[in-house]
Each structure stands twice: as structure tokens, then as C-alpha cells.
A and B are shown apart, each in its own frame.
Chain A
Amino acid sequence: MKTEKQLCLGVESTADDFGVGIATFKGEILANASSGYVPEEGGIHPREAARHHAENADKVLAEALSTAGVKPKDLSLISFAQGPGLGPCLRTGATVARALASYLNTPLVGVNHSIAHIEIGKLETGAADPVTLYVSGGNTLVSAFEAARYRIFGETLDIALGNCLDVFAREAGLKHKKGLPLGAAVEKLAAEGKKLIPLPYVVKGMDISLSGLLTAATILLHKGEHRLEDLCYSLQEHAFSMVTEVTERALAHTEKREVLLTGGVAANRRLQEMLGVIAEEHEAKFNVVPRQFATDNGAMIAWTGVLAYTHGLVTPVEKSFVKLRWRIEKVDVPWIK
């Protein structure tokens, strides 16, 4: 290669964030720039989000390159989140990545977004073989590596944990703050909650269901008989206990010695506390992804691109179509023995 330091630039655009990260092949993160789409009201409109990504891609790219102090020609690899996610958003990121790779004449590699969340957590915390709870606006799953693949031990049967918190927050009229997800607003109110209001607690085997919980909490909210703080507290206690219960079951089942919490909701301190307890009880080491790598980000895509490429994976442009549905059990991970 041209430079002594081999570099990968990763493009993330699965949902509301457009991110560009730059990682060395040795796993140093040199840059992690991003721009988030904030809807005027309601949830993510895929086309509007994609428009935001297209309009901000050049700015975010320039910022990442300048933070890392590298020139485009120094890059030796381009990676992008190939799925799963929202179609228009994914396609925007993929287009940027294809253009870069073809202009710079570097290899291109598509990576799985969910696996990238796990890999950045491992890189940053030093965890080697954890049971991972990955919780975000779009995903809620418990995974561990077994027999050549990341297997899903438990997951939500309906909506994701972050989605549950976000929708409740919007119903309660809480507003997006720049750089802070709505879940953070719920967390803040929950800390002031005192009374536990009974809500549905649904664990089915290793899976959970959150939609009934959200509906019940929303109905109580609109009845107006409870303090919002108590509702946020109760919603968090029920939902977090459910995901912690299934994570503990996977931990007991796999007998792994590490627990990793990753994804946007990983930033929640109450959830961290609960998972810390089960890790301790099973004599496992507890790891939380650092906040800057918790939400969707380009750095995780860059790093996972390095892992994939250095273990023989490349994605030719003609096979670089996005995969809106791409379960992690379907992904080859030759970098794990």
C-alpha cells in the first residue's frame, strides 16, 4: 500500500444519523464525525432522513478527514453499512461509499450494522467473547458468538427498546434536544420517579415483547392520573428488567465470562446498573460501549470494515446493493476463531 498506516473510512447511514469514521488497520479510531437528522415532529421519515444524509455527506466527510488529518488518497479501504436499516438512508450511504471507492480506486466492503455495534464495543472495551445486549431505536437483541456465527439468543418480538422509549417520549410531548436522543429525556424524568405503576411484563422464552407495555403506558399517560416522572420510571423499570432477564438467561446458558452492552440505549445509566448486577452475579466482566460509540456511528463501520477486509472479504460494486433485512446469523465473521 501507499502509506505506512493503512486506513479505512467507514460510512454509516442506516437510519437518522449520517456518520463517517476513520480507523487504522490496527484499530485506532482517528475520526468519528456525524450529522443527525432531527424530524420536525414524529419519528424518522426515511425519505426526509435520506435527503438530510445526501445534503450533509460532504460536510461530514470533510470533517472526518480533517479530524484524522489525512487526505483522501491516504485511504486504503472504504466500508459502508450495507444493512439492516431504512432503504433510502442505506442507499444514500452506499452511493457515497461506492463513489469514494471507485474514485480512489480502493477496495469496497459492505458490513452488517448490528455486528459493527458489537465489534466497536469489543474494540473499545477489550471484551473478547461476550454475551451482548444490543439495544437501540431499531434493534433489541441478545447475541453471542457460537459455531462460526453471531447467534441470536433472544430478541424483541415486536418493537425495539429505543423505539418504545422514543414513542412514549413523543406521546408525552418531550422534545428532541440537539445531540440527545429522546430516551435521554425519559431517563432524566425517570430518575425523579418514586412510585412503581403496574405495567405488562412480557418475557416469552428468551424473547420479549414491548408493544403491549408501550400501549399500556401511553393509555395511562393520556388518562393523566399519574406523574410523568412515575410513568417514565415504571416504563424503564419494566422494560429494562425484561431485557436484563433475557440477557441473564443467555449468560447462564452460554456460560460466557463477559457481558457487553451496546447500541444507543447503552448510554442509559439505569440499564447499565442492571446489567452490571447480573454480570457480577455470574462472575462475568461487565463492559459498556463508550458513549460516543453507543449511537450509530461511522467509526464502528470503519473498524468492522477493517476486520472483514483483512480476513478476505470484499464487496464488488455489482454486489454492493443494500440489504434492508440482514439478520446477524446470516453474516460470515471469519475474523473470529
Chain B
Amino acid sequence: MDKVNTQTLLKKGAEASLFLKSWHGRKVIVKARLPKRYRTAELDAKIRSYRTAHEPQLMHEAKRAGVPTPTIFLVDLKNSAITMEFVEGKQVKQVLPHLPRKEQQEMCARIGVLIGKLHRHGVVHGDLTTSNMILAGGGKIFLVDFGLGEKNVEVEARGVDLHLMKRALQSTHYRFAEDCFKHVLEGYTSVLGMEDAGKVFEKIREIERRGRYVDKRKQA
């Protein structure tokens, strides 16, 4: 990596742009929440600075829960930018479809374990998709993008978190979503135990029934 302070745009997401940069001799990611022109400036500033301050705290909490996340180096609230470790690897979204069924299931179970550890520690991720999971060189799975997460131990929050994971699997990996989610839940149960996990699963069913125009929805 050259020493010049240049940066390359890695990804222009909807919520933030990711730049790859050299910083004190390391490769780092700068996650910048750029102003959103569609939002009125006042609201935009509030949302961006809130998420920027919040995200590193949750990533740190996740680490304490035993869930790999990139190390934070710098938080720049004024510019809504976070400088963090660059994790070399691939998005689980890219890897998962190409694995043999057995390995797919194992990976999903490992993801379930990570979510379980997070929840047991009182953190919900808020945006569990396979794009927000990075399979690093050594085989470790890192969770990223905690911008919509929160510290919350309620069954409702946990249920919504897992429900989002299910929805993300259905829209991105619809061909094997069901099987994948089943293994995610197995991994999850292995951490939280049958009793606590069971409560969350019941909540997921309730959340699904709440959805609009769902067949299983109960008549009020």
C-alpha cells in the first residue's frame, strides 16, 4: 500500500460511502455518512451524527460479546465519518450461493451463533443481511454495519432482528432461504438455549402475522 493519502471509493451504499484508505501505514475503511440531499438539512444532520456516534459503541459491545467486528480507529462526529480496520474477505452474500449444501448449512449455523451471542449480550444488529457479513481470510465471519442497531434485550427487538434476517435471505437467496434460516435458528438456539430462543421464535411468528395481508394473520 502506498504512503500517499489517497482514497478509493469501495462502495457507494444507500446509507454511507466506504472509502479504502492508507492511514498510518495501515489499510483502513472510512465509512462516511454523506449528507442526504433529500432530507431537510436539520433532520439529516441529526440522523447522521446519531448513527455515527452509535455505531462504534455497538461494534465495541459486539466484540465484548465475542462477535468479530472491525476495530475502530477514529470517530469523526463533525464529518459523520468512522475510520476502522479493513477486513479482507468476501461478503457472505457472494460466497453463500456457491457453497455445497452442507457447507452452506454450516455457515448459516455459525451466523446463527454470532447473532445469538450478540443478543445474549443485549445488542441487536438492526440490519442483518448477508451483505453485512464478511467472511475473512482465516474463515472468521465479521459483522459490519451496526448503524441501525441498538442496545436492547427485549424479545420484540430480538424477534424483529431475526425476522429481518429471514426477509433478507428470502429476497437475496430465495432458492435456499428456508433451509438457511432453519440452520441460523439452530445456531442461535445453541447459544441462547431452548427456553429463551423459543420465546424469540414465538415472537417471530407473531411479527409475521402482524405483516400486511399475511394468510396466517389472526382475525382481531
Contact = CB atoms under 8 A, between A and B. Distances in A.
A147 to B, nearest CB: 6
Contact of B167 (A146, A205, A274, A281): A205
Interface stretch (B20-28, B96-104, B123-131): B123-131
A305 interface: no
B14 A327 contact: no
A241 B36 CA distance: 10
Interface in A188-210: 196, 198, 201, 203-207
Q: Report the interface size class on chain A.
A: 35 or more
Interface stretch (A70-78, A152-160, A313-321): A152-160
A297 interface: no
A201 B51 CA distance: 12
Among B15, B168, B212, the most chain A Cβ lie within 10 Å of the Cβ of B212
B174 interface: yes
A84 interface: yes
B43 A237 contact: yes
A207 B170 CA distance: 14
A152 B172 CA distance: 11
A251 B14 contact: yes
Top 7 closest A-B pairs, CB basis?
A: A325-B213, A205-B164, A274-B38, A252-B14, A249-B14, A277-B38, A248-B14
Contacts of A295: none
Contacts of B37: 277, 281
5 contacts: A155-B211, A157-B210, A205-B129, A207-B167, A252-B12
Contacts of B5: none
Interface of B: 12-15, 36-40, 42-43, 46-47, 126-129, 131, 148, 160, 164, 167-168, 170-171, 174, 207, 210-215, 217
A205 B212 contact: no
Contacts of A252: 12-14
Nearest to B165: A205
Task: Tell me the dominant secondary structure on chain B's binding face.
Answer: loop
B148 A241 contact: no
A326 interface: yes
A244 interface: yes
A176 B12 CA distance: 43
A300 B215 CA distance: 25
Contacts of B13: 249, 252
Interface of A: 83-84, 139, 141, 146-147, 151-153, 155-158, 196, 198, 201, 203-207, 237-238, 241, 244-245, 248-249, 251-253, 273-275, 277-278, 281, 324-327
Nearest to B172: A253
B164 A207 contact: yes
A249 B15 contact: yes
Nearest to B34: A281
A237 B128 CA distance: 27
Contacts of A237: 39-40, 43
Contacts of B164: 204-207
Given A204-B160, A207-B164, A324-B213, A241 B38 contact: yes
Among B14, B15, B43, B214, the most chain A Cβ lie within 10 Å of the Cβ of B14
Given A84-B212, A151-B171, A205 B126 contact: yes
